[in-house]
Chains A and B, each alone.
Chain A
Amino acid sequence: MIEVIYILCLRQLKHYWRSKTRLIGSLGQPLLFLIAFGFGIGPMYSKANGGADYINFLAPGIITMGILFTAVFSGLEVIWDRQFGFLKETMVAPISRTEIMIGKTFGGATIAIIQGLLVLSLTYLIGFRITSLGSLVLGLVFMFLIAVFFTGLGLSIASKMKDMQGFQMILNFLIMPIFFLSGALFPITNLPPAILFISRIDPLTYGVDGLRGAITGISTFGIYSDLAVIGVLSLLICAVGTVLFSKIEA
């Protein structure tokens, strides 16, 4: 079981490592956000919040962004596997669908965490700092859970998609709103009630809040409730994904 999960992970890591353009390309967006928002919105934020540092608020949000996109895309990679035929090889193998789901989730999540750490190092360029090792470890826990949840979400969606036709729709109507309304870029506390409601049912809201709480000490809901929410959701999505995978007729 462990070895099957390992080989599924290893395959994804090899794909990731071998496509250097994707690796570097995927850092462009977070870097742009850091610069544009950090320097563009930063001064306004400071003025409105009695001198509070926006970079401190923004950095966890951008790290989350890196993880979110990498994780979802890793999950959606299954659609490519299906189109190029490799999915069949995995689906006719004498392994349980749970093993496939866990293997693919860990593989995608590992890549997403690496991506998150790369973005974290980018934030150091514009002056962000994590103060203690303990915060970093706690931060990694949140990064892991965010990565697991969104890889699982990507996989679950992919198990229902036949080709990449619906990709743009998922990006614009699911992933983008999840990101922009999560409080990654601005505090959600001042949002009008209707939008706030969406933010409150957005899983990423708790991921961002938890990660921010862990590495900077700024948290709206408290990191333990964040931990509980994102932890339970991660388990749930893995269960859903396993059921969906067992129904795939590859």
Chain B
Amino acid sequence: MQNILLVQSLTKKFDDFTAVNNVSFNVETGSIFAFLGPNGAGKSTTIKMLTTVLKPTSGEISINGFNVLKEQDKARESFGIVFQDHSLDDDLTAYENMIYHAVVYKVPRKEREERIRKAFEIVGLWDRREDLVKNYSGGMKRRLEIARALVHYPRILFLEEPTVGLDPQTRNSIWSHIRNLNTERKMTIFLTTHYMEEAEAIADQIAIIDHGKIIESGTVEEIKKQTETESLEEAFLKLTGRDIRDDNNGVKPRMMRGMGRMR
């Protein structure tokens, strides 16, 4: 089995605070990979580095065979991302958001309409394509963001907490879309979530990160066995402790909040 994503000794330092500390892992092509960790563990920082938003202090990343640092645009063409927070243009219609994406991702002109229609249909928003995004509900926006990330046929899809703040109906439908993408299109899925039962239900492989280091990885069964627990949630709590974390480890709150805003 090939690996679509290879991460080697990835490190990110903000001044004297190490957000991600010498992290290495691989994601198999065609798998669903869940990247879990408490708030401030280094998840977001890692994803930002994987998706070219943030430059690593050191380490190597390869996506779809392209070096993320040296062949940035090739790597960018290979992945799609649904960011943790809102990234649509509310003053454009849903369709205009899609066209914008198709053009900046250089989707061939004659394929655009067809691909956009397909993506809309996957998330069931075709009939609402002419609405301004600001008139969409939270769940519709999330679905639109997922649809948008599919237009350039990414080989790997990054999903940052795709279901946060959504009602059970929408969550269910989003997970079934994601599963379909994985089985039917053989798209690799890299996701983060705080809902352990969701990760447990969907993920082939799991990595748990805390304090900037990967502390456990494997299949759900392996992790449960390793920690002698009944569920992923219990395993997670056993591994990362029960203390409530301040966001961003509380180490550099001001700095990190600034980074958050820059996203």
Cα-based distance from A84 to B134 in the complex (angstroms) = 12
Give the shortest distance, in Å, between B144 (CB) and chain A (any CB). Answer: 12
Q: Is B261 an interface residue (CB 8 A)?
A: yes
Q: Which residues of B contact A96 (CB under 8 A)?
A: 73
Given A7-B104, A94-B106, A163 and B261 contact (CB-CB distance below 8 Å): yes
Given A85-B263, A94-B77, A162-B262, A249 and B55 contact (CB-CB distance below 8 Å): yes
Mark each residue of chain A from 63 to 104: 1 if its CB lies under 8 Å from any CB of chain B, else 0.
000000000000000000011111011111111100000000
Give the shortest distance, in Å, between A52 (CB) and chain B (any CB). Answer: 46
- Of B53, B86, B92, B96, which contacts A92 at CB under 8 A? B53
Cα-based distance from A88 to B51 in the complex (angstroms) = 10
Of the listed stretches A11-19, A43-51, A112-120, A209-217, name the one at the interface; the rest are far from the partner chain.
A11-19
Given A85-B83, A250-B53, A95 and B91 contact (CB-CB distance below 8 Å): no
Q: Which residues of A contact B263 (CB under 8 A)?
A: 85, 88, 250
Give the shortest distance, in Å, between B151 (CB) and chain A (any CB). Answer: 11
Q: Taking chain A's interface residues, is the majority helix, strand, or loop, or is none over half, making it mixed?
A: helix
Q: Is B224 an interface residue (CB 8 A)?
A: no
The answer to whether B99 touches A92 (Cβ under 8 A) is: no
Given A94-B76, A162-B262, A18 and B91 contact (CB-CB distance below 8 Å): yes
Q: Which residues of B contact A94 (CB under 8 A)?
A: 72-74, 76-77, 104-106
The answer to whether A89 touches B101 (Cβ under 8 A) is: yes
Given A14-B91, A84-B90, A89-B87, A249 and B73 contact (CB-CB distance below 8 Å): no
Cα-based distance from A15 to B91 in the complex (angstroms) = 7
- Of B87, B90, B99, which contacts A7 at CB under 8 A? B99
The residue of chain A having its C-beta at the shortest distance from the C-beta of B106 within the complex is A94
- A residues 181-209 near B (Cβ < 8 Å) are none
Q: Is B27 an interface residue (CB 8 A)?
A: no
The residue of chain A having its C-beta at the shortest distance from the C-beta of B79 within the complex is A92
Q: Is A36 an interface residue (CB 8 A)?
A: no
Q: Which residues of A contact B53 (CB under 8 A)?
A: 88, 91-92, 249-250
Q: Which residues of B contact A4 (CB under 8 A)?
A: 103-104, 106
The residue of chain A having its C-beta at the shortest distance from the C-beta of B261 within the complex is A162
- A residues 212-250 near B (Cβ < 8 Å) are 249-250
The answer to whether A90 touches B104 (Cβ under 8 A) is: yes
11 contacts between A and B (CB under 8 A): A11-B96, A14-B91, A88-B83, A89-B88, A89-B89, A92-B81, A95-B73, A96-B73, A249-B48, A249-B53, A249-B262
List 17 extra interface pairs beyond A83-B261, A96-B73, CB under 8 A: A4-B103, A4-B104, A6-B103, A11-B89, A11-B96, A84-B86, A85-B85, A85-B263, A86-B88, A89-B88, A90-B104, A93-B101, A94-B72, A249-B262, A250-B53, A250-B262, A250-B263
B residues engaging A (CB < 8 A)? 48, 51-55, 72-74, 76-77, 81, 83, 85-92, 96, 99-101, 103-106, 258, 261-263
